[in-house]
Chain A
Amino acid sequence: MSITVRWVAVLGVGISRFGKRSEGLIDLLSESAVMALDDAGVEQVDELVVANMASGEFEGVSGVGSILVSRLGLEPARAYKVEATSGSGGAAIYVASNSILSGMSKVALVVGGEKMTTKETPEVSEVIASILDEDDRAHGLTLPSLAAFSARNYMREFGATRESLASIAVKNHYNGSLNPHAHFRKRITIEEVLSSPIVCDPLRIYDYCPISDGAAAVILADINVAKKYRDKFPVIRGIGYASDTNSPIERDFLFEMPAVRRAAEMAYAASKRGPRDIDIVELHDMATILEVIISEELGLFERGRGWKAAEEGVTSLDGELPINTSGGLKAKGHPIGATGVAQLVEVSMQLLGECGERQVQDAKVGLTCNVSGFGAGVTVAVVEVI
């Protein structure tokens, strides 16, 4: 029987180790793409969407879609790159999902990646800061400093403690220690977080994600096509995308991300699921405070309550609502273009019971939330196995 719901199948996934890698961007992307093609068992795709922010700045490479379609032998598939800074992966999934829902594509390969360690940290910071408003940037503003403004105000407003934020880093490092693809496999303690060097007061090195190389891929497909390959697979039941000012200091509150709220509402409405239905979450913890803010904007916790969740174990692997089972950006790493795709890979693997030591029992509904910049663009997807 033919299904007419507006769901998109996740037919295959591929991911390799995040961290400092010797390969260049094209090889990293190819590696994950081939894994996803093999996992899905498909030989050809209609469309190849590459998620990447700064191949030009990091490696002097442009036209990544064209390069990759040839390298993978996927001609004449439509091939292009989607760029939305750190939200590129989510945006690419959004674009490919719409192609499938419109009927223009039956099978699409989405592969996201970034090669960052070609440059020293100050140069990487410069590339990342290039996404900020020009006037803000002239003052020396950085993405990490936006998180610091946010953390200071959140802590003051809701009484959150430094320890509570540190416990998010501790949790995500623990999860990363169980993930063979994670950049950091080392467990850390609250004391180590609180005694690590200050990056932007009140946040420290262990509050932030590292600079990593890496790539991840998914094969998205029309549900009726997917059924010919498999009996059981995850589907994106609903997806939302929204934007907001790219100068976050303009917002009414420095601890809010209205685009997360908006994208989540769209994804919940489309999927006919709500925050109470969610069993596992992969979200954009560029800094510890962002895990708190985003989890609240997603409606998973009331405003001002999210900071207690990690400390009380609610969001740990064996808690009621595990968040960032992969280790998140914090410990798995954040190769910019890869992140949104890697989130869908993790949630799909969790729902299929393929996560080994970090497997969450009985997870039925997953959610991903990928963020551009500091909330300038957000993709939220609700995923379930059928």
Chain B
Amino acid sequence: MGVPLFICRRCGRAYPKQRYRCRRCGSPEFNVLEASHGKLVSFTEIHAVRVGFKRPLRLGVVELDNGGKVVGILDLADPKMGDRVVVTRNSNLNFIKPAD
């Protein structure tokens, strides 16, 4: 399963997070679209992890082809900026894997 994107029905702006109103046009109505492909636009390896997370925690930011950016857990051996990736959602978490 991919990640949900909330697309404003009136103006088409894509949001990775659910909102009650569109920031651009104020519309309260959104279509939900499932997105999965995109490119890696940043990443980090967290050593000072929060309670309950395994150290080090590798997170990335993906710019989805359908618009919007999401954070996800990196499942890539050697991440590079601009890598083509696929984001899958499992138990409410996003995982970033290489696009084949």
User: Closest approach, in angstroms, between the C-beta of B25 and any C-beta of chain A?
Assistant: 16
Report the separation of the CA atoms of residues A133 and B70 in the bound assembly, to the nearest whole angstrom: 12
Report the separation of the CA atoms of residues A142 and B51 in the bound assembly, to the nearest whole angstrom: 11
Q: A129-B50, A145-B46 are in contact. Are A139 and B94 (CB under 8 A)?
A: yes
| Residue B93, interface by CB 8 Å | yes
| Chain A residues whose CB sits within 8 angstroms of the CB of B94 once the complex forms | 139
| Chain A residues whose CB sits within 8 angstroms of the CB of B49 once the complex forms | 140
A148→B16 contact, CB < 8 A:
no
- Number of residues from B at the complex interface, CB < 8 A: 29
| Residue A197, interface by CB 8 Å | yes
Give the interface centre of B44, B47, B51, B81 by most chain A CB atoms within 10 Å.
B44
In residues 102-143 of chain A, which contact B (Cβ within 8 Å)? 122-123, 125-126, 129, 133, 135-136, 138-142
User: Closest approach, in angstroms, between the C-beta of A251 and any C-beta of chain B?
Assistant: 8
Report the separation of the CA atoms of residues A144 and B41 in the bound assembly, to the nearest whole angstrom: 17
Report the separation of the CA atoms of residues A153 and B71 in the bound assembly, to the nearest whole angstrom: 15
| Residue A277, interface by CB 8 Å | no
For chains A and B in complex, what number of residue pairs have CB atoms within 8 angstroms?
Answer: 85
Q: A138-B93, A141-B71 are in contact. Are A250 and B15 (CB under 8 A)?
A: yes
B53→A249 contact, CB < 8 A:
no
Report the separation of the CA atoms of residues A198 and B42 in the bound assembly, to the nearest whole angstrom: 17
Of the candidates B72, B81, B92, which one forms a contact with A156 in the assembled complex, judged by CB atoms under 8 Å apart?
Answer: B81
Q: A135-B17, A139-B71, A139-B73 are in contact. Are A201 and B48 (CB under 8 A)?
A: no
User: Closest approach, in angstroms, between the C-beta of A204 and any C-beta of chain B?
Assistant: 9
Q: A129-B50, A145-B59, A199-B47 are in contact. Are A254 and B16 (CB under 8 A)?
A: no
Chain A residue nearest to B61 (CB atoms) is: A249
Report the separation of the CA atoms of residues A247 and B73 in the bound assembly, to the nearest whole angstrom: 16
| Residue B57, interface by CB 8 Å | yes
Report the separation of the CA atoms of residues A123 and B52 in the bound assembly, to the nearest whole angstrom: 11
| Chain B residues whose CB sits within 8 angstroms of the CB of A364 once the complex forms | none
Report the separation of the CA atoms of residues A192 and B8 in the bound assembly, to the nearest whole angstrom: 49
Chain A residue nearest to B58 (CB atoms) is: A201
Q: Can you name 5 A-B pairs with beta carbons within 8 Å? A: A126-B51, A129-B50, A138-B92, A144-B48, A250-B69
The 8 closest A-B pairs by CB, nearest first: A148-B44, A149-B42, A140-B53, A201-B45, A199-B48, A200-B44, A140-B57, A200-B46
Q: Could you tell me which B residues sit within 8 Å of A by CB distance? A: 15-17, 23, 41-51, 53, 57, 59, 61, 68-73, 81, 92-94
